[in-house]
Amino acid sequence: MGRGRVELKRIENKINRQVTFSKRRNGLLKKAQELSVLCDAEIALIVFSSRGKLYEFGSAGITKTLERYQRCSFTPQDTSLIERETQSWYQEVTKLKAKYESLQRTQRHFLGEDLGPLNVKELQNLEKQLEGALAQARQRKMQIMIEQVEDLRKKERQLGDLNKQLKLKLEAEGQNLKAIQSLWSSNVAAGSSNFALHSSSQSNITMDCQPPEPILQIGYHQYVAVDHEGTSSTIPKGMAGSETNFIQGWVL
């Protein structure tokens, strides 16, 4: 009996699948090499395993064979498709160019240039467009000015609040300075009065302790005579010359 046909399907057993892949991969690479040698064919073989490993064979190099494949893979249908795409891009460029020229012409009209070819209706439309643009510009200008005024008012309020805070702080500092000055003045006054009393007391003590200063006297010294009973009498010095044997003259 002959061998029956084997149904090709995915091998469910992981180990059997890996063994089968290794065997058939090696056989496939060997057959490709034999075919390239026997038939002088340019063969490129690329195999990725289920785990992502790469196995390749190229009789003339993988890169060279792939470039040759890309050059030979274009068909007349592809060429016509490229031509159609080129024509479509050319038309698009033509439209964009015309639109660009129209915008440039409109810009010159807005600037007041090249108005000769325009008729009355076109000039009226241009006037309306300019008036609309002018109204929008004025509206935007007023909006910006209002915003700036609001910002300035906000800054003014902030500066006013800051000024009030600084004023209150300055008044508090002034009150503290006045209190310090009054306290200092009272301390200075008390110190000066104590110093005056101390100085006067010191001067009195000094005056009491100093000996009597010599006195310049012109005339006769008064002579105090003491009798035997203990009474004293003052007589001029000249009259007591013979009795007391006191030296007459000027005495400093």
Shared-domain flag, residues 130 and 158: yes
Within a domain: 246: no
Q: How many CA atoms lie within 13 A of 200 on its CB side?
A: 5
**Beta carbons of 115 and 109 less than 8 angstroms apart:** yes
Are residues 67 and 18 part of one domain?
Answer: yes
List of the chain residues with pLDDT < 50: 1, 205-206, 209, 220-226, 228-229, 231-252
Domain match, 109 and 123 both: no
Q: pTM score, two decimals?
A: 0.33
Q: Does residue 225 lie in a domain region?
A: no
Phi and psi dihedrals of 30, rounded to 5? Answer: -65, -40
Note whether residue 90 is domain-resident: yes
Same domain? For 130 and 93 the reply is no
CA distances to 43, 66, 91, 109, 118 from 52, in Å: 22, 21, 46, 66, 71
The Cα diameter of the chain in Å comes to 203
pLDDT of residue 220: 47
| pLDDT score for 244 | 46
Q: Which residues contact 216 (CB under 8 A, 6 or more apart)?
A: 252
Which residues share a beta bridge with 57? 45
Could you tell me if 113 and 139 lie in one domain?
no
CA distance 173 to 168: 9
The answer to whether residue 193 sits within a structural domain is no
Q: Is residue 58 part of a domain?
A: yes
Pair of tokens at residue 138 = 């004025």
Q: Which residues contact 188 (CB under 8 A, 6 or more apart)?
A: none
Instruction: Examine the domain organization and report whether 55 and 25 are in the same domain.
Output: yes
**Neighbouring residues of 237: CB distance < 8 A, sequence distance ≥ 6:** 220, 221, 222, 223, 246, 248
What percentage of the chain has pLDDT greater than the value 90?
21
Same domain, 104 and 90: yes
Q: Which residues of 187-225 are buried (b: 16+ CB within 10 A; e: fewer)?
A: eeeeeeeeeeeeeeeeeeeeeeeeeeeeeeeeebeebee
What DSSP letter does each residue of 164-213 carry, written as one string? Answer: HHHHHHHHHHHHHHHHHHHHHHHHHHHHHHHHHHHHHHHHHHHHHHSPPP
Residue 220 lies in a domain: no
Number of domains comprising the chain:
3
Could you tell me if 152 and 113 lie in one domain? no
Token pair in block for residue 188: 């200075």
Same domain, 104 and 150: no
d(CA 176, CA 179): 5
Domain that holds residue 56: 14-73
Domain boundary among 40, 56, 73: 73
Asked if residue 151 is part of any domain, the answer here is yes
Residue 99 lies in a domain: yes
Other CB atoms within 10 A of residue 234 CB: 8
For 15-42, the DSSP string reads HHHHHHHHHHHHHHHHHHHHHHHHH---
